[in-house]
Amino acid sequence: MTDDAPSTSSTPSTPSTPSVPSTPSAPPSVPPSAGRDDDSIDWRAVARGAGAGLAVIVPVTVLHAVLEHEIRDFQHSAWRPPLFLLILAGYVVAGWIAARGTVLPLTQGTLAGSGALVLWIPVRIAIWAIREDQRGLFSGHDAVLKPGQLVSALLLAAAAGMLGGWLSGWIARRRDQAADRTGADHEAERVR
């Protein structure tokens, strides 16, 4: 059959569109960078959230290091609980920022909170190196980064980031519901 031979098909020719596979595990036909609204993780948003969380955590960590050096009995001082809450707030902020406008707020929030902790570790190592107070980094009686504490911190960071993601999604849903009600009220007034 040649290119200029008439088609034997009874249906009019239309531009062919790529068929979409019916299996849910098939890869999407649009690249992830196209910005479509799907169930994939937005790594840029996760990085923004982790960076925002780190922007809260670093000053609190530096303040903690200074206070620990200057206060004689810092372990029993009134500074510890507020500093801990500020660190948790940093992880919540990370989750909040990462989850805005996504269909996966809990996942994005969890990854951002955990990412903020991972980004914080080099900062903490730098503080340890500058202070040189005869403490081991990972081992010893009073190690700076004990493995058990790192695991606990990772769990807290993930949970607080997830909370931030949940709050972001919850507020977005409430805002959308309020906008829908307002739109319905305006439509009802217009019909009257």
Dist CA 119 CA 113 (whole Å):
10
44-54 pLDDT, tens digit per residue, is 999 999 999 99
**Helix, strand, or coil (residue 71):** coil
Q: Compute the distance between CA of residue 171 and CA of residue 95 in angstroms, rounded to an integer.
A: 13
Round to whole Å and give the CA distance between 82 and 149: 19
pTM to 2 decimal places: 0.69
Q: Where are the domains of the chain?
A: 41-183
- pLDDT tens-digit series, residues 99-139: 998 889 999 999 999 999 999 988 888 877 776 666 666 66
Quick one: which of 42, 127, 51 has its CA closest to 90?
51
Tell me which of 110 and 28 has the higher pLDDT: 110
Long-range (24+ apart) CB contacts under 8 A made by 59-68 are 60/86, 60/87, 60/90, 61/87, 61/120, 61/123, 61/124, 61/127, 62/127, 65/127, 65/131
